Amino acid sequence: MNYIKGFDSLRALSVIFVIITHLGLRKYVEDNYTSINTNIFSLINGSTGVRIFFVLSGFLITSILLSEKIRKGNINFRIFYIRRFLRLLPPLIIFFSTVYMLMKLGYIWHSRNALLFSFFYLYNFVPNQYYTGELGHTWSLAVEEQFYFTWPFIINYVTNNKKLIVFGLGIIALCALFAYSYPHINSLKNYRPIRWFFPAVGPIILGCILATVNNIYPAKLEAFISNNKLILIFGFIFFILPIHPFAVMKQILFLIQSFGVCLILIWIFYNQKSILTNLLENRLLSYIGKISYGLYLYQGIFLRTGPSGILAIQQFPLNIFLTFIVAIISYEFIERPILRHKKRFR
């Protein structure tokens, strides 16, 4: 897929939102500046960041897979997974090796079960008694990997793209149904069901549906969206709903906000010369977007899922400095050299 201006910066914003949350910035502001309204943190937080990334991931992966299916008649799963593993595994091996070493040395809470859940991309299903701050963020990596092991097969074997849209809408309906249901199921109190594949995959599937619609009706979408600022306005309206949500929408707010991300994303896609796209396409944000996977992964060691670490490397400002330094080193000296090999698998 050709480079799309603005998308790297969306990745950057998503990981910045996560970092803001894990730094504990909201609590700091509430404790020290009581006159400041902190509702904005209902919008600028880790959950929003993950949703942005999920929608973007679903859109890009589906666009790539549909393009391959059109060109070749089917999807080459071997090549797809080789490319995914080349992208994901090298930093992940470093991360897990570091966490395991810190556990063995007694610097962080040791839980073999927690490590196994995380290593096998199952941390979104981990019971609360095995939850540890250094691994907490890997729940989203688990959801995404579970998506990688299901959605490509669905695309390949659902012959009609319109049926694919219907299938995706069915998944969204299941996500909404479970989101409304799980708070009333007592047996789930020991888990975090909002992170289970259903309903957490919902934002990814919305991105998939958007990509499928774009694949079927590219000319119509371009004509409708190009220079149509109403699409962008409605996108932002849906996006900012977490600040003052309607009670009835609270359980499915993650889907509503993700729909807003979809509208913003497709507007940027078809307005590559707009002021907004050019503002997003700046060197700093674009670079943060490129190293966003490393930032997201390694911040678990230094920031945990909140400012409660006891190690020196988990104290501010050293923790944020180390997060960026390690992510940059990882990207420049490990990820980029390995990613060059992706070109061999097309």
Domain-embedded: residue 89? no
Distance CA 101, CA 94 (A): 11
User: Please, which residues have CB within 8 angstroms of residue 211's CB and are 6 or more apart in sequence?
Assistant: 58, 59, 60, 61, 62, 63, 66
**How high does pLDDT run on average in the chain?**
94
Query: What pLDDT does residue 28 have?
Result: 85
Q: Using one digit for the tens of pLDDT, what is the confidence trace for 135-151?
A: 999 999 999 999 999 99
In a domain, 304, yes or no: yes
Domain ranges, residue 311: 7-73+94-344
Asked, for residue 81, whether it belongs to a domain, the answer is: no
pLDDT at 247: 67
pLDDT in tens, 89-145: 999 999 999 999 999 999 998 888 999 999 999 999 999 999 999 999 999 999 999
Question: CB neighbours of 115 closer than 8 A, spacing ≥ 6?
Answer: 96, 99, 100, 103, 135
Separation CA 156–CA 152 (nearest Å)? 6
Q: What is the mean pLDDT of residues 177-200?
A: 95
pLDDT in tens, 213-253: 999 999 999 999 999 999 999 999 999 998 887 767 889 99
Does some domain include residue 84? no
Confirm whether 2 is domain-assigned: no
Would you say residue 47 lies in a domain?
yes
Q: Where is pLDDT greater, at 227 or 258?
A: 258
The answer as to whether 88 is a domain residue is no
Among 139-148, 186-195, 241-250, 263-272, name the one with the lowest average pLDDT: 241-250
Predicted model pTM: 0.96
What whole-number percentage of the chain has pLDDT above 70? 99
22 pLDDT exceeds 80? yes
**How would residue 10 be classed by pLDDT, with cut points 50, 70 and 90?**
very high
CA distance 240 to 218: 27
Lowest mean pLDDT among 72-76, 109-113, 124-128, 334-338: 109-113
> What would you measure as the largest C-alpha separation in the chain, in angstroms?
60
- pLDDT at res. 109: 86
- How would residue 207 be classed by pLDDT, with cut points 50, 70 and 90? very high
Q: Looking at residue 281, what is its pLDDT?
A: 94
Cβ-based neighbour number of residue 320 at 10 Å: 15
Q: Report the pLDDT value the prediction gives residue 267, as an integer from 0 to 100.
A: 98
How many domains does one find in the chain? 1
In a domain, residue 26? The reply is yes
